[in-house]
Structure 1
């Protein structure tokens, strides 16, 4: 992320857009405002998008669906840097299912209208803070099948790349480009999926509850959305199966949660 964050705001309500622009300008952030869905993908393929730090995306746009637009950004754009860009949804919908869909389609967080612009700023800073913890890579190697993986991982969250073994194979995480590699192959994961998998990797064999995993991926966890973890786990398993379907990497402990590399 650049020293002066550049935010793409996609919001059709001028009053909300102006309020957010004023608040973000006070933070010293650059803002590009679009009021429709059809202009987003062309903008993302322009030079102006190369320094984007985050996207604030309204779910209900006059000419399109913000949820589908997020999915397009995550899965169809040919600009790799944008596939992992933080996306925060703005939604006037109070239904829990809409919030779940937003997170499952690749959103990092959401703000339900009406909201305080300061709250949105705080949520963006929290997302960036989690990413910046992993922004100064060096290399550490460890081979372990026990809890020393947890100690090594936790002591090096300042940004070192990790390469280590456990019962389910060899893993490598490179913070410079947020790539997580298993058995020599890069996994195509969303931000949330990557954070869940890294959390499980901290302690192979430990059972993590849905609530624990939810706290690991959000500074503002909504416990009503804990079931979204199941969908993310399903997506992670699908990715792992493309590499090696014979290994049961993530085990479900019914009523308890999930564990990596079960004994």
Structure 2
């Protein structure tokens, strides 16, 4: 592995179609990542646990163990490595289920390999960076968020969020009372345009609320027909 790849980190790709796996490997390697490929879900889960990659690219329809199940088991074990799903079906239900299991993003086949690399880089920037360049701790009722530590607590108890869930909450808390449209949130948190589907925002907000619990969830308000706001 080159020193540049070592600097970028290792990406685990779990894809059973050799042509797609080779294409993804080629473009990620060109961008300076190390790449490890597995062809089935069972081997992919073992590799994720053994290699500790910086990100995982998982096909949903894998032999042995579905990509969604690989993600679920990682999250249940406390592994919050960023996950991007590949799905051959442009089905909103599939995407929503994947996001509810703790995925950070998804790409629908056929896809641009350059777009996939951009998505990997974006999720890694979010996982290591400070949202909006602000590192001051923030509070909203029982919710406390520390951008520099990337930690969230509710009444002092830690809450485990995915990279995307954390950045969504941080962005909402950055300007208490400000109503953000779904399009604004998609552009600012995910880093891409609204044609990717604003339903993604709704699913992630629902997941954040569920993890915060009933007492804290009420601090994230829905403004029907507009978007979301955090009560200060």
* TM class by smaller structure: 0.7 to 0.9
> Measured at CA, do residues 101 and 225 of structure 1 come closer, stay the same or move farther in structure 2, by a change above 3 Å?
farther
> Measured at CA, do residues 251 and 118 of structure 1 come closer, stay the same or move farther in structure 2, by a change above 3 Å?
closer
Q: Which residue of 2 aligns with 1:149?
A: none
Which structure has more helix as a fraction of its residues?
2
Q: Between Structure 1 and Structure 2, how many residues are aligned?
A: 228
Whole-angstrom distance in 2 between the partners of 1:19 and 1:223:
25
Whole-angstrom distance in 1 between the partners of 2:120 and 2:200:
21
TM-superposed CA distance for 1:94, in Å, is 1.7
Q: Unaligned 5+ residue runs, structure 1?
A: 135-152
Q: Secondary structure at the match of 1:73?
A: helix
Equivalent residues in 2 for 1:229-244, closer than 5 Å: 229-241=201-213
Greater Rg, structure 1 or structure 2?
Answer: 1
Cα deviations by residue, 1:167-226 (Å, 9 ceiling, x for unpaired): x246231434x2123432222222222111111111111112222222233122444632
Whole-angstrom distance in 1 between the partners of 2:196 and 2:122:
20
Q: Which residue of 1 aligns with 2:114?
A: 118
The 8 Å contact of residues 138 and 146 in structure 2, kept in 1 or not, is answered as no
Q: Which residue of 2 aligns with 1:148?
A: none
2:49 maps to 1:45: yes
Whole-angstrom distance in 1 between the partners of 2:154 and 2:177:
17
The 8 Å contact of residues 56 and 87 in structure 1, kept in 2 or not, is answered as yes
Q: Secondary structure at the match of 2:26?
A: helix
Q: Unaligned 5+ residue runs, structure 2?
A: none
Cα deviations by residue, 1:51-70 (Å, 9 ceiling, x for unpaired): x1110101111223212322
Q: Which residue of 1 aligns with 2:22?
A: 18
Q: Which residue of 1 aligns with 2:67?
A: 66
Whole-angstrom distance in 2 between the partners of 1:185 and 1:69:
27
Q: Secondary structure at the match of 2:54?
A: strand
TM-score (norm. length: structure 1): 0.76
> Measured at CA, do residues 208 and 65 of structure 1 come closer, stay the same or move farther in structure 2, by a change above 3 Å?
same
Whole-angstrom distance in 1 between the partners of 2:106 and 2:217:
35
Q: Which residue of 2 aligns with 1:172?
A: 145
Cα deviations by residue, 1:64-123 (Å, 9 ceiling, x for unpaired): 32123222222x22xx4x31x221111111223222322232222222222232221122
TM-superposed CA distance for 1:8, in Å, is 0.5
CA RMSD of aligned residues (A): 2.6
Whole-angstrom distance in 2 between the partners of 1:37 and 1:247:
34
TM-score (norm. length: structure 2): 0.85
Q: Which residue of 2 aligns with 1:216?
A: 188
